[in-house]
Structure 1
Amino acid sequence: MKKSNKFKLVISLLLLLVLILTACTQPANPAPSQNETATPAPTGGTEELIFGTGGTAGTYYIVGAAMGKVVSERSDKLNIIVQATKGSMENINLTSVGEMQLGMSNADGVFDGYYGTGSYEKGGKQDIVGLMSLYMSAGHMVVKKNSGINSYADLKGKKVVLGPPSTTIVEMSKAILREHGVDPDKDIKPFYLSFDEGVSKLVDGDVDASFFVAGVPTAALMNASSTGGVDLLDVEDAILDKIANEFPYFEKYTIPANTYKGIDKDIRTLKIMTNIFAKSTLSDEAAYEFVKHALEGVADYTSAHTVVKEITPETAWKVPVPLHPGAEKYYREIGVLK
């Protein structure tokens, strides 16, 4: 009986030893260490794109946020993350280095960034390509009513916001000032601020005038003019013609009377088109999906801003730089680009 028990014990120990050795020879699958990153679970193929727009009160942000929401809802491949920014130049810079994948800018900014001219003469060519042309943006020089400032010539000696530094907005405001005999570097105290900051400074009385470029109407000025306490400065046709000849991306435009409360006359000014661009490494599929749903879903965000009605397939492909291949594929498919 004792021999039988000893035999069973030996067999049990041998089996246990075999199990231990087997476990030791299996491939290890440890949890990630503090210096490693676990592989994320699949997300169903949705690609996140960061989309740079502008200040939260401006047309860029309002239109971009509405467009991004619709594209995300319509596409099962894209999730658009809308980013508020300081505008065109920041969008181009961040997209070029890969911190964003999409951005909005005035047409000349896209042109200069792609070709390394104008504002990018020192910085060189940026890694961007065209996606869409959207709508026009108009120059607004805002002053307080009854301030005694009735024309650009009256801005001599005043504190004037010219726009964010190194932007088309500054280029446009300085060109208009010069044609009115005002040297923007000597005859005024210039401020280089974003759209939101400029309007806020004007309302608070910290500056005498604020220039910005935005769609018509734009929410920030609608709010500022709600009490009828602001005015816009008009520019004569001869001056507009001269500037447009010098800067081919600027065009004449008239802001209709009563667009803003208390401004009951037409305001002649300059305009420029707004574009969407992308980093050149954006996948063809992502570019195609974005353009397709931004255009085919436009009815779903028309209510966001009146400028959305200007977004059409017939004009969307007309950007000043080469199109992204994915966007070009879509425009050719629908027949607007031959």
Structure 2
Amino acid sequence: MNTKTVTRLAAAAVGAATLLGATFAVGQQMAFFRIGTGGTAGTYFPIGGLLSNAVSNPPGSRACADGGACGVPGLIATAVATNGSVANINGIESGALESGLTQSDVAYWAYSGTGVFEGKAKIENLRGIANLYPETIHLVARKGAGIKSPADLKGKRVSLDEPGSGTLIDARIVLSAYGLTEKDVKAEYLKPNASGDRLRDGALDAFFFVGGYPTGAISELATSSGIELVPIAGPEAKKILADFKFFGPDKVPAGTYKDVEGVETVSVNALWVTSAKQPEDLVYGVTKALWNDNSRKLMDAGHAKGKQIRKETALDGIGIPLHPGAEKFYREVGLLK
């Protein structure tokens, strides 16, 4: 699905939701549920597409028992391309989105009014639907750029991702752990696909990306021009883990990207979040649809990270309250007591 198609779908969803009052109740024929994702070259966008397929069940669809949609009856969910975590949370708060994907660190900061949200109003209506999968911090370097550690980024041309992205926040944390700030690098603020293009052309030395591996933009870059992954390890990484409890140790295995050695790094969790203002019945239905057998098949076949989206880890590392609808489902299946 290209960006124009997503934009048309989103526009249609917004218009129809406005006409219908954007509410959900038993007996309503149609409801819309927008899922804010990220750039089209990242991991959030295809995962958002899988989620929308899993929970959608438009009017007139064949019944699940007949091989049709197994989602919420009458629901049309759409994956909307955005600038990522921060933008999705702001969209949920403003009502421009019904839900979105976000990093666990960004969700915690938004809800508590700390970190990058310090001095701003707490987004107290932010609620969790599920933890999805680990999001790995990639530091991608141009082959031969001489970057063996984040400390080597000093004076280099580095993309930190767009304003509003969780990647930008985490890139700043990594730089700080290695004694650097944005002023110590020649910082640019580009989406992953634009960063890849500039790296390939020799106009960029490195870029940060936070997302599930493998991601399309990095895979294509590794195949077409060759890259190196820079480890985020050693005492600096240990300090990150000690200072920020929502990070965990991680590793990108060798061969994940063509001819690229494995590296140690750190990761956060990818969460699916919504607003406390969303109806309990709706979010209960969405959560239940996420974890049915049909959705399991979609996740396993749809993306490498889809296999890591497991009901058994749905409550790991969320860090914000669950939506009552999601909480109801997890209690029913015994994941909450």
Aligning the two structures, in what range does the TM-score lie when normalised by the shorter sequence? 0.7 to 0.9
- For residues 219 and 39 of structure 1, the distance between their equivalents in structure 2, rounded to whole angstroms, comes to 37
Matched, 1:169 2:153: no
- Residues 228 and 262, structure 1, Cα contact 8 Å, conserved in 2: no
* DSSP 3-state at the match of 1:123: coil
Q: Which structure 2 segments of 5+ residues have no match?
A: 1-17, 22-26, 57-68
| Structure 1 consecutive aligned stretches of length 4 or more whose deviation exceeds 4 Å | 37-40
Q: 1-side partners of 2:177 and 2:257: how far apart? A: 26
Q: CA deviation at 1:44?
A: 5.3
After TM superposition, give the deviation of residue 193 of structure 1 in Å.
2.5
Corresponding residue for residue 138 of structure 1: 136
Matches within 5 A, 1:5-154: 45-72=29-56, 73-75=69-71, 76-126=73-123, 127-154=125-152
Give the letter for the 2:174 counterpart. Answer: I
- Counterpart position of 1:298: 296
Within the alignment, does 1:274 sit opposite 2:258 as a pair? no
* Structure 1 residues 38 and 68: CA distance shift in structure 2, 3 A: closer
Q: What secondary structure is seen at the aligned counterpart in 1 of 2:182?
A: coil
Equivalent residue, structure 1, for 2:311: 313
Cross-structure match for 1:14? none
Is residue 109–residue 167 contact of structure 1 (8 Å, CA) maintained in 2?
no
What's the secondary structure of 1:113's corresponding residue? helix
Q: How far apart in 1 are the matches of 2:166 and 2:54?
A: 29
Give aligned pairs, total.
Answer: 298
Residue 331 (structure 1) aligned with residue 316 (structure 2): no
Alpha-carbon deviations, 1:169-227, whole Å to 9, x = none?
2332233333334x223321112233333223322333211101010111111111113
- Once the two structures are TM-superposed, the CA of residue 74 in structure 1 deviates from its matched residue by 1.8
- Partners of 1:119 and 1:326 in 2: CA distance: 29
Q: Deviations over 1:243-279 (max 9, x none)?
A: 100111111111111110021x221111000001112
How far off is 1:300 after superposition? 2.0
* DSSP 3-state at the match of 1:281: coil
In the alignment, the residues of structure 1 paired with residue 87 and residue 197 of structure 2 have an alpha-carbon distance, to the nearest angstrom, of: 21
Secondary structure (helix, strand or coil) at the match of 2:128 reads strand
Q: Please give the alpha-carbon distance, in whole angstroms, between the structure 1 residues aligned to 2:319 and 2:300.
A: 25
CA distance in 1, matches of 2:314, 2:298: 17
CA spacing shift, 1:228–1:257, aligned 2, 3 Å: farther
C-alpha spacing 1:176/1:113, structure 2 compared with 1 (3 Å): closer
Cα RMSD of the aligned pairs, angstroms, is: 2.1
User: Do the aligned partners of residues 257 and 46 (structure 1) sit closer, same or farther apart at CA in structure 2, a change above 3 Å counting?
Assistant: same
Distance 1:74 1:204 in 2: 45
The two structures have a TM-score, normalised by structure 2, of 0.83
Amino acid paired to 1:152: P
SS at match of 2:152: helix
Tell me: CA distance 1:117–1:180, structure 2 relative to 1, closer, same or farther (3 Å): closer
Q: Is the 8 A contact 2:142 2:204 kept in 1?
A: no
* Superposed CA offset, 1:83-107 (max 9, x none): 0111001100011010110100000
For 1:187 and 1:39, locate their aligned partners in 2 and report how far apart those are by CA, in whole Å.
51
Deviation, structure 1 residue 157: 1.1
Partner residue in 1 for 2:211: 214
**Is it true that 1:244 corresponds to 2:241 in the alignment?**
yes
Give secondary structure in 2 for the equivalent of 1:322. Answer: coil
The separation in 1 between residues aligned to 2:29 and 2:268, in whole angstroms, is: 37
Query: Percent same amino acid among aligned pairs?
Result: 34
Once the two structures are superposed, residues 269-296 of structure 1 have per-residue CA deviations (whole angstroms, 9 ceiling, x without a partner) of 1100000111211111110111111121
SS at match of 2:264: strand
Look up the equivalent residue of 2:269 and give its one-letter code.
M
| Deviation sequence 1:298-338 (CA, Å, 0-9, x none) | 22232221111111222213321111111111101111111
- Partners in 2 of 1:301 and 1:255 — Cα distance? 21
Aligned to 2:60: none
Q: Distance in 1 between matches of 2:83 and 2:166?
A: 13
For the residue of structure 2 that corresponds to 1:198, the secondary structure is helix
Deviations for 1:100-142, whole angstroms, at most 9, x for unmatched residues?
1010000011111122222222331123211110000001111
Structure 2 CA distance for aligned equivalents of residues 326 and 193 of structure 1: 37
Q: Residue 184 of structure 1 contacts residue 190 of structure 1 at CA under 8 Å; is this kept in 2?
A: no
TM superposition score normalised by structure 1: 0.83
Any idea what the Cα deviations from partners look like across 1:35-79, whole Å, max 9, x if unmatched?
xx9999xx9522111110111111111111012112113221311
Given the alignment of the two structures, is residue 253 of structure 1 paired with residue 253 of structure 2, yes or no? no
- 1:225 corresponds in structure 2 to 222
Question: Rg: which structure is higher?
Answer: 1
